[in-house]
């Protein structure tokens, strides 16, 4: 499809998304999904029918697209046809795909300590410790400003986290001490601007990116010789799971994580090892004679 054909549609779609307050990241994802459909369709997307959209879903499935990718495409195309084109009936046949729920791989507290100690530098250690110690997402860690650290109240102000919501996260004394060490080091290096980012990028005007933080995580993981298939986001999972294992109320954890629904937080109870250990197996309750017979 030519630029002349796409420009008016793209402009209108961007305007529709802007009016609804979509983030820049969401807008890019929606535009990309419509472009991918256009490549498949081979013509201007406003000429597509419900059957064309159905065929596109079959095409994505045959190409091995993940449930996440397919559902993102459904959301984008429903918006494009329903809002931008005013043709909601065209996307009626598009269905979301059930995503398999897999248990998160969790590091033990000892493994987390090894990983943080192996972080490549004080800046990396402070940023990764924030992800684990406060349960923050990567985007939330890198978007923090120095002024978001409220040492007197021992809280961290998270502005416009996922779902465009503000919240407070916990700030432990050990984490505060580490952040102060990094702040002093950053000031000495001249990278801490007044009212600036807590974790500046190479140009202090910009903050560290989530991708750069992820590279720091994987460097620390390799240095700590941790073989488990974990990612930067796993530190947030570890935060929630370790709190559950300490018997912290799940509703408190829900607030700390910024979850809208308790069901989302309850997912971590599936990997709470202390709860599993506290349950007696029925095998342990068999009479001693029966156990000996089975062993023989």
pLDDT at residue 145 in the model: 95
**Whose CA is closest to 135, among 248, 22, 276, 227?**
248
Note whether 106 and 241 are within 8 A (CB): yes
**Whose CA is closest to 136, among 2, 49, 238?**
238
Residues with active-site annotation: 137, 162, 233, 236, 259, 268
Give pLDDT < 50 ranges for the chain.
1-5
pLDDT at residue 245 in the model: 85
pLDDT at residue 5 in the model: 45
pLDDT at residue 273 in the model: 60
Write the class of the CATH domain 3-91.
mainly alpha
Q: Is the pTM of this model over 0.75?
A: no
Note whether 43 and 28 are within 8 A (CB): no
DSSP 3-state assignment of 156? strand
Domain boundary assignment for the chain: 3-91, 109-276
* Helices 122-133, 210-223: inter-axial angle, 10-degree rounding: 100
DSSP 3-state assignment of 165? strand
CATH classification of 109-276 is 3.40.50.300, yes or no?
no
pLDDT at residue 2 in the model: 42
pLDDT tens column, 124-137:
999 999 999 999 99
Cβ–Cβ contacts within 10 Å for residue 290, how many? 10
């Amino acid at each position: 499809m030519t630029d002349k054909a796409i420009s008016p549609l793209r402009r209108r779609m961007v305007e529709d998304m802007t009016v609804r307050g979509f983030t820049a990241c969401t807008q890019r994802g929606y535009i990309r999904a419509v472009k991918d459909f256009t490549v498949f369709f081979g013509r201007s997307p406003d000429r597509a029918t419900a059957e064309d959209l159905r065929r596109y879903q079959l095409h994505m499935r045959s190409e091995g697209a993940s449930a996440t990718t397919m559902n993102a495409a459904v959301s984008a195309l429903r918006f494009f046809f329903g809002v931008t084109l005013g043709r909601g009936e065209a996307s009626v046949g598009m269905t979301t795909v059930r995503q398999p729920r897999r248990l998160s791989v969790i590091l033990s507290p000892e493994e987390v300590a090894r990983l943080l100690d192996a972080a490549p530098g004080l800046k990396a250690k402070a940023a990764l410790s924030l992800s684990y110690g406060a349960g923050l997402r990567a985007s939330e860690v890198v978007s923090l400003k120095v002024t978001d650290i409220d040492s007197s109240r021992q809280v961290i102000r998270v502005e416009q986290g996922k779902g465009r919501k503000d919240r407070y996260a916990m700030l432990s004394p050990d984490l505060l001490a580490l952040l102060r060490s990094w702040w002093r080091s950053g000031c000495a290096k001249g990278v801490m601007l007044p009212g600036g980012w807590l974790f500046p990028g190479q140009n202090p005007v910009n903050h560290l990116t989530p991708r750069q933080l992820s590279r720091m995580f994987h460097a620390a993981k390799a240095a700590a010789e941790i073989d488990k298939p974990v990612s930067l986001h796993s530190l947030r999972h570890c935060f929630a799971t370790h709190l559950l294992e300490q018997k912290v109320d799940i509703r408190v954890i829900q607030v700390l994580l910024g979850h809208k629904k308790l069901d989302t937080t309850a997912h971590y109870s599936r990997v709470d090892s202390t709860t599993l250990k506290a349950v007696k197996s029925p095998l342990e309750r068999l009479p001693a004679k029966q156990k000996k017979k089975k062993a023989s």
